[in-house]
Structure 1
């Protein structure tokens, strides 16, 4: 590769990196907010959310049957929409992150209370519901990044690029 092409690629990479440093956490926050609003809104309409039965069953188990199905779905939908709106707006992130922590505990609780339902595929492979819950581990990692932001953490650039 010629040195001028290499230098051009390095400058381009630096520009992209600079943009990512400035905007990636905001993009993560907004995209996560959109996911929570959409998935939360689906739960307001009976039979529309693919997670409806899993949500109702999990809440029934962790509340020992004290919360009926309809209020459980409405509460979950409202919590998810509030979290999503908080992430989208970017204000009140401290409260949003605390609500998100509670919600993520609920989202991941089927791993503990319904493992047979989530991993009943061949050789204990995850079912479709199990895959749905496992992908929520990404939400946990994203929430951790967003949570660092309200305390002032920032991505910064290094003065010297690191070689891959």
Structure 2
């Protein structure tokens, strides 16, 4: 006999267990995603504070230069971008001003994808045969 045939309440117990896990997952999902994005922002932003430490530094600086029509360029662009990314990460970890952070990070994500338009040759390379 299977376990479910031996104990008629096995199905009910499993349903209650799955319901509890689902409730816990729902409570943990948003904070977990917020912490993950915060760590990613800090992980990618912090190296930009130091010249030559980020492999994406040149691409990021060139993108900021184009998006600001040359008003923010070079080390200034690098430091501002690094400070913004680290700042976004810290604020996400703290959990304050979430509506504002959503708008700011959405703008940052749009800016992050603009190199696909401006520098496709740097992003798409075919394998060498």
TM-score, with normalisation over the residues of structure 1? 0.66
Q: Report the Cα offset of residue 14 of structure 1.
A: 2.2
Question: Which residue is 2:94 aligned to?
Answer: 89
Give the gaps of 5 or more residues in structure 1. Answer: 124-164
Residues 84-114 of structure 1: per-residue CA shift (max 9 Å, x gap): 1121111111221222122111111111111
Distance 1:18 1:63 in 2: 45
2:58 pairs, out of 48, 53, 58, with: 53
Distance 1:21 1:94 in 2: 20
| Greater Cα radius of gyration, structure 1 or 2 | 2
Question: Which residue is 2:3 aligned to?
Answer: 2
Distance 1:34 1:42 in 2: 13
2:105 pairs, out of 91, 100, 103, with: 100
Give the gaps of 5 or more residues in structure 2. Answer: none
TM-score, with normalisation over the residues of structure 2? 0.81
3-state secondary structure, aligned to 2:49: coil
List aligned pairs for 1:1-164, cutoff 5 A. 2-3=3-4, 4=7, 8-122=13-127
- Structure 1 residue ranges (4+ consecutive) displaced by more than 6 angstroms after TM superposition: none
Distance 2:49 2:12 in 1: 54
Count of aligned positions: 123
